[in-house]
Amino acid sequence: MQEEFQLVETLVQKVDTTGVDPIVVREAAEILLGGGLVALPTETVYGVAANALDELAVRRIFLAKERPAANPVIVHAADARQAQTLVDDWPVLADRLADVFWPGPLTLVLHRGGLVPGVVSAGGPTVAVRVPNHAVFQAVIRAAGIPLAAPSANRSQQLSPTTAEHVLRDLEGRIELVLDAGPTPGGIESTVVDLTDKPSILRPGPITQSMLEQALGVECPLAKPPSDLNAPLRSPGSLARHYAPRTPLECSTAAPLRVAELSSQNKRIGWLTLGEESDANYSENVIVLSLPSNPTAYGRGLYAELHRLDELGLDRIVVSLPPDQEEWAAIRDRLIRGSNS
Ligand code: TXA
Ligand code: MG
């Protein structure tokens, strides 16, 4: 029989990132220590956190998100020292990456230690760990004194949340508390690197391949090119369809033509441009939102704009696909997965 989540009242607390209120932090820590779920901002997206060492608490995350049990979750640690308590083996390459990129948007897959319940890793022998760089997350994880399992705070296969409103849209009634610190500063989920074998990138993200290789001193290729969506999966959670709005999404390298074509078929279209193409005049059936042509700024705005378009109940979202260049790799990965329905 399928387990079900129990409806709870979801409290929302506004927090100031410059001086995090100790009473709010304590409340969040107590909920987590009691086996509850708290959505917290990170520097990338909002995560839904639970005590990573409490099997039942982690199971509640899977229920709230309707996440398949085969998709492991990332464990967040306060610092590299705490991360080391979660793994069986801490290779020198992990030190190199942690020294340069932690706290920050980098997740390391290592051999799982005995402390970590199997549910975290979908029963597998590895665990993904990262140290997030956000004042609110840091304050809560330090107050709780435990590592926190925290996948992105959205229902399974939907868009990741970059605001508290996005979290509530998917998880209201399923989690005890949301700490609302405004939009997250990043916007694209962390880079996931496998260090259990020769280093490789399981999920491209804000830390690029050349940044990783410079810190590692060895190669760190992409485990699976994002265009090859049918290749065998190294990361069990890398389902082809992921990070997707409810509205069908398509990526285009000739978006103005594609939008004109769809609009002539009387389709209601949302078009996410790369800034420079947005001056053309289209019918009122076309809603044009433009994102900056700088990858960092684009990444910060991408999910919020997709959430906005998704709310409008359009027939289609067309996205101008950014160029096939390293600094766009993470964004292209998410867009291509999002369009793979
Ligand atoms: O930026 C982020 O990483 C955000 C914030 C909240 O920290 N978290 C996030 O978590 O994106 P989630 O669960 O939405 O994505 C975790 C990714 C999935 O692709 C999953 O398959 C992979 O990490 N992963 C987790 N544990 C793994 C493991 N043991 N081996 C391989 N991949 C793993
Ligand atoms: Mg996710």
Each residue's pLDDT expressed in tens, for the chain with a length of 341 residues: 456 778 999 999 999 988 889 999 999 999 999 999 999 999 999 999 999 999 999 999 999 999 999 999 999 999 999 999 999 999 999 999 999 999 999 999 999 999 999 999 999 999 999 999 999 999 999 999 999 999 999 999 899 999 999 999 999 999 999 999 999 999 999 999 999 999 999 999 999 999 999 999 999 999 965 444 444 445 554 555 677 889 999 999 999 999 999 999 999 999 999 875 555 667 788 999 999 999 999 999 999 999 999 999 999 999 999 999 999 999 999 999 999 76
Instruction: State the pairing for strand pair 46-51/38-41.
Output: antiparallel
Distance CA 269, CA 323 (A): 22
Cβ atoms of 232 and 332 closer than 8 Å: no
Pocket-testing residue among 38, 48, 74, 138, ligand 1, by greatest number of atoms within 8 A of Cβ: 74
Cβ atoms of 313 and 269 closer than 8 Å: no
Query: For residue 198, what are its two tokens?
Result: 């020769």
- The burial of 21, by beta-carbon neighbours within 10 Å (0-12 exposed, 13-18 middle, 19 or more buried), is given as middle
Which-ligand-closest: CA of 151?
Answer: 1
pLDDT of residue 231: 42
What 3-state DSSP class applies to 77?
coil
pLDDT of residue 19: 83
pLDDT of residue 225: 54
Angle subtended at Cα 212 by Cα 99 and Cα 221, rounded to the nearest 5 degrees = 145
39 lines ligand 1 (CB under 6 A): no
* Model-wide pTM > 0.95: no
CB atoms < 10 A from the CB of 252, how many? 16
pLDDT of residue 21: 94
Distance CA 127, CA 36 (A): 21
pLDDT of residue 277: 59
What 3-state DSSP class applies to 189?
coil
123 lines ligand 1 (CB under 6 A): no
DSSP letters of 132-183? ---HHHHHHHHHHTS-EE--BSSSTTBPPPSSHHHHHHHHTTTSSEEEE-SS
Cβ atoms of 111 and 88 closer than 8 Å: yes
295 lines ligand 1 (CB under 6 A): no
Phi, psi of 195 (to 5 degrees): -115, 15
pLDDT of residue 226: 44
141 lines ligand 1 (CB under 6 A): no
Which-ligand-closest: CA of 74?
Answer: 1
Handedness of CA 80, 86, 89, 94 (dihedral sign): negative
pLDDT of residue 224: 65
How many residues in the chain? Answer: 341
Distance CA 5, CA 164 (A): 21
